[in-house]
Amino acid sequence: MEPAALNLVVLRSRDMEHAADFYNRLGLEFSRHRHGKGPEHFAAL
């Protein structure tokens, strides 16, 4: 039996830049994304 895997986590924030900075300091790297006319968001690399 294979262990469960996590492939997506969605975190919402009123201050996207502040949240990205916080998680960046914990070692996550981000890039900006937008799908079509949808909202801009960050994706961890």
Could you read off the pLDDT of 1-45 as tens digits, one per residue?
999 998 889 999 999 999 999 999 999 999 999 999 999 999 988
Tokens of 17: 């830049």
Q: Helix (H, G, I), strand (E, B), or coil: what is residue 17?
A: helix
Instruction: Report pLDDT for 28.
Output: 94
Within the chain, where are the H helices?
16-25
Write down the residue that tokens 């994304």 correspond to.
Answer: 33
CA distance 16 to 11: 10
DSSP strands (E only) in the chain:
30-33, 41-44
